[in-house]
Chain A
Amino acid sequence: GAVVSQHPSWVICKSGTSVKIECRSLDFQATTMFWYRQFPKQSLMLMATSNEGSKATYEQGVEKDKFLINHASLTLSTLTVTSAHPEDSSFYICSARDVGTSGISEQYFGPGTRLTVT
């Protein structure tokens, strides 16, 4: 099946610094990638939809200037958490849709990145 990787898998940073998380589709091309955030014992919350070559679409309540998303190629999207604060500590998960399949076109999830802001 299709593979999506994320890097780093976990990161600890100091309050006020910025952190970049990479999401890559390893064996397929993805025009659309999704970024989710998940707090402990809660479900996935969609943050933004990332489209290759265009600006990301952010969900209501998500600050686009704080969570910078870049989708520069069909296999890479990045999420940068700027001026991180402890309340940004969460599990960040990306997913990608395989444009090559004519069937289900399911979303493939990356393994997630656990961010801890101290």
Chain B
Amino acid sequence: GQNIDQPTEMTATEGAIVQINCTYQTSGFNGLFWYQQHAGEAPTFLSYNVLDGLEEKGRFSSFLSRSKGYSYLLLKELQMKDSASYLCAVREVANTNAGKSTFGDGTTLTVKP
């Protein structure tokens, strides 16, 4: 099975940088995803890591260390619209359970002026 941990809530200031951590313990690993979800809406894809290292995509970056079972999502130049829930999800090995993903409980980020 999967066990995914991420902080429940975080607060940051507009224009600042925030790092959201995610740790996982899995029986199989085939990639880690970060999603953004605004209240009442479905999640939207932010990033995907399957190899160790940093993936940068504009203001958003995601890092993975498979040996440590650790990932983080880095948000730069925070904007008010970045206030949302950020979900960390780990995908199991693809040939079992069709590669389903297990989601963490999400981190609610509040950006203040």
Q: Which residues of A contact B (CB under 8 A)?
A: 32, 34, 42-46, 49, 51, 57, 91, 93, 97, 104-112, 114
- Complex-state Cα separation, A5 to B41, whole angstroms: 13
Answer whether A104 and B48 are a contact pair too, CB < 8 Å, given A43-B87, A44-B43, A109-B42.
yes
Main secondary structure of the interface of A (DSSP, over half): strand
- Complex-state Cα separation, A112 to B44, whole angstroms: 12
Q: Which residues of B contact A (CB under 8 A)?
A: 31, 33, 35, 40-45, 48, 87, 97-106
Residues in B neighbouring A51, C-beta threshold 8 A: 98
- Complex-state Cα separation, A105 to B104, whole angstroms: 20
- Apart from the given pairs A32-B98, A93-B43, A107-B33, 10 other A-B contacts in the complex at a CB distance below 8 Å: A32-B99, A42-B105, A44-B103, A97-B99, A104-B31, A104-B48, A106-B48, A109-B35, A109-B43, A112-B42
- Complex-state Cα separation, A42 to B104, whole angstroms: 10
A112 touches B41 (CB 8 A): yes
User: Among B31, B41, B101, which residue has the most Cβ atoms of chain A within 10 A?
Assistant: B101
Main secondary structure of the interface of B (DSSP, over half): mixed
Residues in A neighbouring B42, C-beta threshold 8 A: 93, 109-112
Answer whether A46 and B102 are a contact pair too, CB < 8 Å, given A109-B42, A109-B44, A112-B41.
yes
Which A-B residue pairs are the 7 nearest by beta carbons? A109-B42, A43-B105, A112-B42, A32-B98, A44-B103, A43-B106, A104-B48
Answer whether A108 and B103 are a contact pair too, CB < 8 Å, given A43-B87, A49-B98.
no
A106 touches B33 (CB 8 A): yes
Residues in A neighbouring B98, C-beta threshold 8 A: 32, 49, 51, 57, 97
Residues in B neighbouring A45, C-beta threshold 8 A: 103
